[in-house]
């Protein structure tokens, strides 16, 4: 006798009783976004999903269901042999599809018939997606954000990492977006996630934060690479208190040269990226920058890019998108000890701002 299939609603309990979260959607759907920690056991692969959908629209829903049932049965059988045979009697899976309907129900029914305590997410991924959007919106309203602003290369990302290591609440937007936030900021080895996946990663972080403590994040534009910040988060960032990080030009140039060491080995890519700045710079300056790149004189190139382009286009004094800094912290160098010492001061100052109620 099969067990009943439990219908689960969001939010899920922090102490999840499930051994696995199983996404039965097609791989292309899973790749775009999924519940963090879920595994993909599709009951229809990408080609089969398209085939069934085409039959549904062009022939009849009845024929589509017959073909779909045959394909789903075949795929579930394969999953039983390759994945589920090793599971014990106490195994508890949580299953979901797009809407919590036929695809998740098909696998859940088989697992429940075997005797496992099986649950299905009510409303499926669509319900999860609504929960993600609402959690980000609510977090933007309730959390105490502290914005780190400063010229390019000041060390804001290093400070965020140091703060995170010491247990502070950090929202590393560039890290989640897999992009450094400039035309030079893409990473071929770690391409940017899909927009929905990026928002799920934001959700994962925001849902864990405590409203009584500050959340540190870097001043960003509304887009990081090709990804958009959720508008509620972006609007909240623009009115949050700001701490400026100030670092000497030479220190910034040395830090960025080292940080982009792997990137600058691709001279053609560097030249093409410099070309993207043509609309902002005189033709002669572009030629000079390319000449420095061809010579491999990276420190000089980075110094000039900072002084002649980024510093001139970027405001940290409150005349841009963000509030005027409430204080400025000096970061004279980017070695671990100097960054750690600055991070300690930063955490202390932010805590005092929290205590004074200056966030609201």
pLDDT in tens, 126-164: 999 999 999 999 999 999 999 999 999 999 999 999 999
Domain ranges of the chain: 6-122, 131-356
Under 8 Å between Cβ of 171 and 146: no
Q: Is the pLDDT of residue 114 over 50?
A: yes
Q: Is the pLDDT of residue 185 over 70?
A: no
From residue 205, alpha-carbon distances to 19, 159, 215, 267 in Å are: 22, 18, 10, 36
Q: Is the pLDDT of residue 100 over 90?
A: no
| pLDDT on residue 261 | 82
From residue 288, alpha-carbon distances to 74, 152, 183, 280 in Å are: 63, 21, 18, 14
Which residue(s) pair with 22 in the sheet? Answer: 39, 95
342 is catalytic: no
Q: Is the pLDDT of residue 225 over 50?
A: yes
- In this prediction, residue 358 has a pLDDT band, given cuts at 50, 70 and 90, of low
Mean pLDDT for 150-179 is 95
| pLDDT on residue 359 | 46
For the chain, what is the mean pLDDT?
Answer: 92
The residue to which tokens 């204080």 are assigned? 327
Q: Is the pLDDT of residue 356 over 70?
A: no
| pLDDT on residue 1 | 43
| pLDDT on residue 262 | 78
| pLDDT on residue 318 | 60
Under 8 Å between Cβ of 170 and 163: yes
How do residues 299-352 score in pLDDT, each as one tens digit?
A: 999 999 999 999 988 877 665 689 999 899 999 999 999 999 999 999 998 887
- In this prediction, residue 269 has a pLDDT band, given cuts at 50, 70 and 90, of confident
| pLDDT on residue 2 | 55
* For the chain, percent of residues with pLDDT exceeding 70: 94
* For the chain, percent of residues with pLDDT exceeding 90: 79
- In this prediction, residue 360 has a pLDDT band, given cuts at 50, 70 and 90, of very low
Catalytic residue among 24, 38, 44, 97: 97
CA end-to-end span of the chain: 58
- In this prediction, residue 92 has a pLDDT band, given cuts at 50, 70 and 90, of very high
Q: What is the DSSP letter of 222?
A: S
Q: Comparing 6-122 with 131-356, is the CATH topology the same?
A: no
- Edge-to-edge strands of the sheet including 93-96? 6-8, 119-121, 93-96, 20-23, 39-40
Q: Of the CATH numbers 3.30.499.10, 3.40.50.11540, 3.20.20.70, 3.40.250.10, which one belongs to the domain with range 6-122?
A: 3.40.250.10
CATH architecture of 131-356: 3-Layer(aba) Sandwich (3.40)
Mean pLDDT for 67-83 is 97
Q: Is the pLDDT of residue 28 over 90?
A: yes
Instruction: Give the residue, 262 or 194, on which the prediction is more confident.
Output: 194
| pLDDT on residue 55 | 95
Mapped onto helix, strand or coil, the DSSP state of residue 336 is helix
């Amino acid at each position: 006798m099969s067990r009943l299939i439990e219908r689960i609603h969001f939010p899920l309990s922090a102490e999840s009783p499930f051994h696995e979260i199983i996404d039965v959607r097609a791989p292309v759907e899973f790749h775009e976004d999924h519940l963090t920690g879920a595994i993909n056991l599709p009951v229809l692969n990408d080609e089969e999903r398209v085939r069934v959908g085409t039959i549904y629209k062009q022939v009849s829903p009845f024929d589509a269901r017959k073909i779909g049932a045959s394909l789903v049965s075949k795929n579930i059988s394969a999953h039983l042999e390759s994945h589920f045979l090793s599971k014990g009697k106490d195994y508890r899976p949580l299953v979901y599809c797009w809407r919590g309907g036929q695809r998740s129900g098909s696998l859940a029914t088989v697992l429940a018939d075997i005797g496992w305590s099986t649950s299905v997410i009510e409303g499926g991924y669509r319900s999860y997606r609504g929960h993600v959007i609402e959690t980000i919106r609510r977090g933007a309203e309730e959390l105490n954000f502290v914005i780190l602003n400063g010229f390019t290369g000041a060390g804001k990302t290093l400070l965020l990492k140091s703060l995170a290591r010491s247990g502070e609440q950090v929202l590393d937007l560039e890290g989640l977006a897999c992009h450094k936030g400039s035309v030079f900021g893409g990473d071929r080895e770690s391409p940017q996630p899909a927009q929905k996946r990026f928002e799920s990663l934001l959700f994962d972080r925001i849902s864990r934060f405590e409203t009584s403590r500050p959340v540190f994040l870097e001043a960003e534009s509304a887009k990081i690479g090709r990804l958009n910040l959720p508008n509620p988060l972006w609007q909240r960032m623009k009115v949050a208190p700001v701490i400026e990080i100030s670092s000497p030009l030479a220190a910034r140039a040395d830090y960025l040269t080292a940080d982009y060491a792997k990137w600058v080995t691709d001279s053609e890519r560097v030249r093409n990226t410099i070309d993207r700045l043509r609309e902002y710079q005189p033709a002669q300056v572009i030629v000079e920058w390319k000449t420095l790149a061809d010579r491999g004189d990276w420190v000089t190139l980075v110094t000039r890019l900072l002084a002649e382009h980024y510093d001139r286009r970027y405001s940290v004094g409150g005349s841009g998108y963000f509030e005027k800094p409430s204080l400025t912290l000096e970061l004279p160098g980017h070695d671990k000890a100097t960054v750690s010492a600055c991070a300690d001061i930063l955490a202390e100052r932010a805590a005092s701002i929290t205590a004074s109620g200056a966030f609201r």
